[in-house]
Structure 1
Amino acid sequence: MVHERSSGPRLSPSSYEEDITLELAPRLAYFAGVARHEHVTRAAQDMGVPQSTLSRAMVRLEADLGVTLFARKGRTVSLTPAGRTFLASVERALAEVERAAESVRADTDPRSGKVAFGFLHTMGSETVPGLIRAFRADHPRIRFTLVQNYGEAMLERLRAGELDLCLTSPVPDAPDLVARRLDEQRLRLVVPDDHRLAGRKRVRLAEAADESFVTLEPGYGLRRITDDLCAEAGFAPRVAFEGEEAETLRGLVAAGLGVALLPPPAVARPGVVELTVTAPRAAREIGVAWLDGHPETPPVAEFKRFLLSRRGRLLPQ
């Protein structure tokens, strides 16, 4: 059997598309300029490039496409039907590139740029609105993209470049992240208002060892803290219900379905009593994290400085 030897590497369809895009892209603006002026010399003067460079670029563009784009008469040119079809798509593509450039420039503007900021659900009703209000007193035009999620999910979005900064707990310790502790938030044992402990103001966590707990799902920072505190108190919590949001857990507690370790609410919830835990010390650290070595825009740098200046007074008193 005789095998025909290829004269060169054969490109897959996707490789060919990438190759032709790299070939065409640098010449699209030149093509649009020549088409607009219908004159090579005037187009070259307008774009500030040598006429010879522009002429060669158009010849090469037609060769790469295998299509005649211009009918030539001296230095005057006019578009062929194929050229007009190609121009319509080129103008849309160039306009989209211009819009993208304007968008990224606007997002990095020191006075009116954008910050992508992530935070825990439990900080969304009071802490974060207060922080942004205080920050915008001096930076009224800076815009925010706000993302609420649990800690691990936010850190993944931080690593993916979707967030600039995030408030999270526990404060992460990872080689690719920089994290700074900002504040501490006491946790309370939340019980139904008709519970045997409801008449108390303080409680040792061990006194709840026989209770059913309602907790956040595994993977949430507060769930890990709850498990660790219960272990320190000498027991493993018997989990009856798992949820994704602290106020939902308070509702489950009010319905008599268990007890929970939670940060204080923005507004008191009827049907529950919130007890100070005296032992072990029940608290969670709140910190801000960002990607190590990741370039930051002026708005992000300014908001980071603001957050770090709030050490010890991040949370509402």
Structure 2
Amino acid sequence: MSTNRYVEDMAVTTSLAPRLAYFVAVARHEHVTRAAQELGVPQSTLSRAIVRLEQDLGVSLFARKGRTVALTTAGRTFLASAEQALDGIAHAAESVQQDADAAYGKVAFGFLHTLGPETVPGLIRAFRADHPRVRFSLVQNYGEAMLEKLRSGELDLCLTSPLPDAPDLVARRLDEQRLRLVVPDDHRLAGRKRIRLAEAAEETFVTLEAGYGLRRITDDLCAEAGFTPRVAFEGEEAETLRGLVAAGLGVALLPPPAVARPGVVELNVTAPRAVREIGVAWLDGHPDTPPVAAFKRFLLSRRGRLIPELEPLAPQEGHQSEN
């Protein structure tokens, strides 16, 4: 649609919309006085509104006999669409009121894929112990995509890493999660429990794609260890990377899995300190509905307790451990 056509359509809509309820009331009653009484407006106001509506449309909507009126053919056609439009407005109003209801409302919540299997279900279960009817619209994505959804109003809150530093966003650190070097179970380092990241400088890495927060953290940690990782494969999910590692296609820096995957060994990184911060972000100045405000308070109350600390995965039998 062209800009001029859009402007023209908006002008017509703005002119007609306030008078639709008046028109529908008169059409249903077929009587101006009774319609005015139902609407609680002066009869003269209602009559002028109907006349102006007909003038704007350029058609007669009613045939008049005193205060009694009857719809014309054009009026019956217009009535069907006007009732549909008013029903749509009523439905939209009901929807947003329900979403904002303190007990039954909805929270649009985004989170990283790696937080989906354990962290987010546990959070929602704990929150709903006190708010059992609050509904959630859940979105899994990478960090930058979720921040754009915050800005567009598609999300109320999101769990992300690293924390954004942007003037239009508010971010609060909640916890940190250790990252491990994941290697194939027949790798030369597979017998170790811990490792300095510099020892993997000559390895081939599999990583998330550029733009993902974990990819940026991986690049930064490798730089701190004194090398640039040689990246052979890029993916979109941590578990896909684990599969690539198990297939012998490289090593990866990843958060702990919810369930141990066969074919890989996960080593604690002693230097540099390999962690990622997890925090909650929202759009600055964006008003919270009661359910969003309640869930935000809940998340902030979980500082330091957001990520369950998993026990280090033991090397498989036959591998020698480094103490």
Q: TM-score range by the shorter chain?
A: over 0.9
- Partner of residue 94, structure 1: 86
Amino acid at match of 2:293: A
- Partner of residue 104, structure 2: 112
Q: Structure 2: how far apart are the matches of 1:227 and 1:20?
A: 55
- Corresponding residue to 1:64 among 56, 59, 66: 56
Amino acid at match of 2:50: M
- Partner of residue 143, structure 2: 151
- Partner of residue 223, structure 1: 215
**Structure 1 position 133 matched with structure 2 position 159:** no
Cα deviations across residues 10-46 of structure 1 (Å, max 9, x unaligned)? x944332222111111000000000011000000000
Q: 5+ unaligned residues in a row in structure 1: which ranges?
A: 1-10
CA root-mean-square deviation: 0.9
Q: Structure 1: how far apart are the matches of 2:301 and 2:99?
A: 23
Q: Structure 2 length as normaliser, TM-score?
A: 0.94
Q: Structure 2: how far apart are the matches of 1:227 and 1:17?
A: 51
Amino acid at match of 1:24: L
Identity of matched residues, %: 83
Q: Structure 2: how far apart are the matches of 1:255 and 1:234?
A: 27
- Corresponding residue to 1:82 among 70, 74, 94: 74
SS at match of 1:180: strand
Q: Structure 2: how far apart are the matches of 1:150 and 1:32?
A: 48
Amino acid at match of 1:261: L
Q: Structure 1 length as normaliser, TM-score?
A: 0.96
- Partner of residue 209, structure 1: 201
- Partner of residue 115, structure 2: 123
Cα distance, 1:49 vs structure 2? 0.5
Amino acid at match of 2:81: S
Cα distance, 1:121 vs structure 2? 0.4
Cα distance, 1:172 vs structure 2? 1.1
Q: Which runs of 4+ in 1 moved over 2 A?
A: 11-16
SS at match of 1:139: coil
Q: Structure 1: how far apart are the matches of 2:298 and 2:238?
A: 27
- Partner of residue 7, structure 1: none
- Partner of residue 262, structure 2: 270
Figure out how many residues of one structure are paired with residues of the other and give that number: 307
- Partner of residue 306, structure 2: 314
Q: Structure 2: how far apart are the matches of 1:292 and 1:139?
A: 25
**Structure 1 position 180 matched with structure 2 position 175:** no
Q: 5+ unaligned residues in a row in structure 2: which ranges?
A: 310-323
- Partner of residue 45, structure 2: 53
Cα distance, 1:75 vs structure 2? 0.3
Cα distance, 1:290 vs structure 2? 0.4
